[in-house]
Homo-oligomer: A and B are copies of this chain.
Protein backbone atom coordinates (compact mmCIF):
# COMPACT_ATOMS: atom_id res chain seq x y z
CA UNK A 1 0.00 0.00 0.00
CA UNK A 2 1.36 3.38 -0.93
CA UNK A 3 1.12 6.29 1.50
CA UNK A 4 1.53 8.81 -1.29
CA UNK A 5 -1.25 11.33 -1.15
CA UNK A 6 -3.37 11.16 -4.26
CA UNK A 7 -4.00 14.50 -5.91
CA UNK A 8 -7.65 14.63 -6.86
CA UNK A 9 -9.36 16.84 -9.38
CA UNK A 10 -11.50 19.60 -7.82
CA UNK A 11 -14.66 17.91 -9.14
CA UNK A 12 -13.84 14.62 -7.46
CA UNK A 13 -12.94 16.40 -4.24
CA UNK A 14 -16.18 18.36 -4.30
CA UNK A 15 -18.12 15.14 -4.87
CA UNK A 16 -16.45 13.57 -1.85
CA UNK A 17 -17.27 16.57 0.28
CA UNK A 18 -20.92 16.46 -0.76
CA UNK A 19 -21.10 12.76 0.13
CA UNK A 20 -19.50 13.49 3.48
CA UNK A 21 -22.07 16.26 4.00
CA UNK A 22 -24.89 13.81 3.21
CA UNK A 23 -23.56 11.36 5.81
CA UNK A 24 -23.35 14.13 8.41
CA UNK A 25 -26.83 15.34 7.42
CA UNK A 26 -28.32 11.95 8.38
CA UNK A 27 -27.92 12.63 12.08
CA UNK A 28 -28.22 16.39 12.33
CA UNK A 29 -30.43 19.20 11.13
CA UNK A 30 -29.43 21.67 8.43
CA UNK A 31 -28.91 24.33 11.10
CA UNK A 32 -26.31 22.07 12.70
CA UNK A 33 -24.62 21.24 9.41
CA UNK A 34 -22.14 24.08 9.27
CA UNK A 35 -19.15 24.67 7.04
CA UNK A 36 -17.10 24.39 10.25
CA UNK A 37 -18.42 20.88 10.98
CA UNK A 38 -17.66 19.75 7.45
CA UNK A 39 -14.17 21.28 7.62
CA UNK A 40 -13.47 19.44 10.89
CA UNK A 41 -14.74 16.12 9.57
CA UNK A 42 -12.93 16.45 6.24
CA UNK A 43 -9.75 17.73 7.86
CA UNK A 44 -9.47 20.69 5.54
CA UNK A 45 -9.73 24.42 5.98
CA UNK A 46 -12.94 26.40 5.99
CA UNK A 47 -11.43 28.62 3.32
CA UNK A 48 -11.07 25.67 0.96
CA UNK A 49 -14.71 24.70 1.56
CA UNK A 50 -15.86 28.19 0.67
CA UNK A 51 -13.77 27.79 -2.47
CA UNK A 52 -15.65 24.58 -3.36
CA UNK A 53 -19.16 25.67 -2.45
CA UNK A 54 -19.22 29.48 -2.45
CA UNK A 55 -21.17 29.59 0.82
CA UNK A 56 -23.27 27.75 3.36
CA UNK A 57 -26.45 28.07 1.33
CA UNK A 58 -24.87 26.46 -1.75
CA UNK A 59 -23.34 23.75 0.42
CA UNK A 60 -26.71 22.95 1.98
CA UNK A 61 -28.46 22.93 -1.39
CA UNK A 62 -25.86 20.53 -2.83
CA UNK A 63 -26.16 18.19 0.18
CA UNK A 64 -29.97 18.16 0.22
CA UNK A 65 -30.17 17.61 -3.52
CA UNK A 66 -27.75 14.70 -3.24
CA UNK A 67 -29.68 13.24 -0.31
CA UNK A 68 -32.86 13.42 -2.43
CA UNK A 69 -31.00 11.59 -5.24
CA UNK A 70 -30.02 8.86 -2.78
CA UNK A 71 -33.61 8.50 -1.60
CA UNK A 72 -34.76 8.21 -5.21
CA UNK A 73 -32.10 5.59 -5.96
CA UNK A 74 -32.68 3.38 -2.91
CA UNK A 75 -36.45 3.34 -3.40
CA UNK A 76 -36.28 2.26 -7.06
CA UNK A 77 -38.59 -0.71 -7.74
CA UNK A 78 -36.42 -3.83 -8.10
CA UNK A 79 -38.44 -5.32 -10.98
CA UNK A 80 -39.24 -8.47 -8.97
CA UNK A 81 -42.76 -9.72 -8.38
CA UNK A 82 -46.18 -8.15 -8.79
CA UNK A 83 -46.73 -4.36 -8.81
CA UNK A 84 -47.90 -4.59 -5.21
CA UNK A 85 -44.79 -6.55 -4.20
CA UNK A 86 -42.59 -4.00 -5.92
CA UNK A 87 -44.40 -1.18 -4.16
CA UNK A 88 -43.93 -3.01 -0.85
CA UNK A 89 -40.19 -3.33 -1.53
CA UNK A 90 -39.86 0.38 -2.33
CA UNK A 91 -41.80 1.28 0.81
CA UNK A 92 -39.59 -0.96 2.96
CA UNK A 93 -36.51 0.84 1.66
CA UNK A 94 -38.19 4.20 2.18
CA UNK A 95 -38.90 3.31 5.83
CA UNK A 96 -35.28 2.26 6.35
CA UNK A 97 -34.01 5.42 4.67
CA UNK A 98 -36.11 7.66 6.92
CA UNK A 99 -35.00 5.70 10.00
CA UNK A 100 -31.32 6.06 9.06
CA UNK A 101 -31.55 9.73 8.02
CA UNK A 102 -34.20 10.93 10.44
CA UNK A 103 -32.65 14.19 11.68
CA UNK A 104 -31.75 15.51 8.26
CA UNK A 105 -35.03 14.37 6.72
CA UNK A 106 -37.09 16.13 9.39
CA UNK A 107 -35.08 19.32 8.99
CA UNK A 108 -35.56 19.22 5.21
CA UNK A 109 -39.33 18.85 5.64
CA UNK A 110 -39.42 21.62 8.22
CA UNK A 111 -37.45 23.96 5.96
CA UNK A 112 -39.52 23.10 2.89
CA UNK A 113 -42.84 23.48 4.73
CA UNK A 114 -41.64 26.60 6.54
CA UNK A 115 -41.22 28.57 3.34
CA UNK A 116 -37.53 28.12 2.47
CA UNK A 117 -37.94 28.27 -1.30
CA UNK A 118 -34.73 26.44 -2.24
CA UNK A 119 -35.55 23.49 0.03
CA UNK A 120 -39.19 23.55 -1.00
CA UNK A 121 -38.20 23.15 -4.65
CA UNK A 122 -35.91 20.19 -3.95
CA UNK A 123 -38.56 18.58 -1.77
CA UNK A 124 -41.31 19.04 -4.36
CA UNK A 125 -39.07 17.75 -7.17
CA UNK A 126 -38.16 14.74 -5.09
CA UNK A 127 -41.74 13.87 -4.20
CA UNK A 128 -42.85 14.36 -7.81
CA UNK A 129 -40.09 11.99 -9.00
CA UNK A 130 -41.00 9.38 -6.37
CA UNK A 131 -44.71 9.39 -7.18
CA UNK A 132 -44.17 9.65 -10.95
CA UNK A 133 -42.78 6.13 -10.79
CA UNK A 134 -46.26 4.90 -9.97
CA UNK A 135 -47.45 6.16 -13.36
CA UNK A 136 -44.39 5.45 -15.47
CA UNK A 137 -42.21 2.47 -14.55
CA UNK A 138 -42.32 -1.22 -13.71
CA UNK A 139 -45.04 -0.72 -11.11
CA UNK A 140 -47.15 1.21 -13.61
CA UNK A 141 -47.09 -1.57 -16.21
CA UNK A 142 -49.64 -3.59 -14.31
CA UNK A 143 -50.86 -0.72 -12.25
CA UNK A 144 -54.49 -1.12 -13.18
CA UNK A 145 -54.63 -3.82 -10.51
CA UNK A 146 -53.78 -1.11 -7.95
CA UNK A 147 -56.34 1.33 -9.37
CA UNK A 148 -53.50 3.50 -10.73
CA UNK A 149 -55.14 4.95 -13.82
CA UNK A 150 -53.58 8.27 -14.82
CA UNK A 151 -56.40 10.72 -14.13
CA UNK A 152 -56.40 14.06 -12.25
CA UNK A 153 -58.30 12.49 -9.34
CA UNK A 154 -55.88 9.57 -9.03
CA UNK A 155 -52.92 11.96 -9.18
CA UNK A 156 -54.44 14.12 -6.45
CA UNK A 157 -55.04 11.06 -4.26
CA UNK A 158 -51.50 9.80 -4.88
CA UNK A 159 -50.22 13.16 -3.71
CA UNK A 160 -52.29 12.77 -0.56
CA UNK A 161 -51.03 9.21 -0.15
CA UNK A 162 -47.44 10.51 -0.26
CA UNK A 163 -48.30 12.89 2.61
CA UNK A 164 -49.96 9.98 4.46
CA UNK A 165 -46.91 7.74 4.03
CA UNK A 166 -44.49 10.47 5.09
CA UNK A 167 -46.51 11.28 8.22
CA UNK A 168 -46.95 7.64 9.24
CA UNK A 169 -43.30 6.73 8.69
CA UNK A 170 -41.91 9.82 10.43
CA UNK A 171 -44.18 9.24 13.42
CA UNK A 172 -43.32 5.55 13.57
CA UNK A 173 -39.58 6.28 13.50
CA UNK A 174 -40.04 8.91 16.22
CA UNK A 175 -42.08 6.51 18.40
CA UNK A 176 -42.88 3.01 17.14
CA UNK A 177 -45.76 2.53 19.63
CA UNK A 178 -44.92 -1.18 19.76
CA UNK A 179 -45.75 -1.57 16.06
CA UNK A 180 -43.23 -3.80 14.28
CA UNK A 181 -41.60 -2.87 10.97
CA UNK A 182 -43.47 -5.77 9.33
CA UNK A 183 -46.85 -4.61 10.66
CA UNK A 184 -46.08 -1.10 9.46
CA UNK A 185 -45.14 -2.31 5.99
CA UNK A 186 -48.29 -4.42 5.59
CA UNK A 187 -50.55 -1.45 6.28
CA UNK A 188 -48.48 0.99 4.20
CA UNK A 189 -48.48 -1.29 1.16
CA UNK A 190 -52.21 -1.85 1.35
CA UNK A 191 -53.02 1.83 1.87
CA UNK A 192 -52.60 2.94 -1.76
CA UNK A 193 -55.02 0.39 -3.24
CA UNK A 194 -57.27 1.13 -0.25
CA UNK A 195 -57.35 4.86 -1.03
CA UNK A 196 -57.89 4.25 -4.74
CA UNK A 197 -60.51 1.51 -4.29
CA UNK A 198 -63.60 3.76 -4.50
CA UNK A 199 -62.48 4.94 -7.96
CA UNK A 200 -62.32 1.45 -9.40
CA UNK A 201 -65.19 0.26 -11.58
CA UNK A 202 -67.31 -2.34 -9.77
- Please state the number of chain copies in the assembly: 2
Contact A195 B198 (CB under 8 A): no
Q: Is A191 part of the binding interface, using a Cβ–Cβ cutoff of 8 Å?
A: yes
On whether the beta carbons of A152 and B179 are closer than 8 Å, the reply is yes
Chain A residues bordering chain B, tally (CB within 8 A) = 38
From the candidates B110, B160, B172, B190, name the one contacting A114 in the complex (CB within 8 A): B110
Picked from B168, B183, B193, the residue with its CB within 8 Å of the CB of A159 is: B168
Question: Residue A34 at the B interface, CB < 8 A?
Answer: no
| A190 with B179: CB separation less than 8 A | no
Scan A155-170; emit 1 where CB is below 8 A from any B CB, else 0. 1110111111111100
Binding site for B on A (CB under 8 A): 109-111, 113-115, 152-153, 155-157, 159-168, 171-172, 177-179, 183, 186-187, 190-191, 193-199
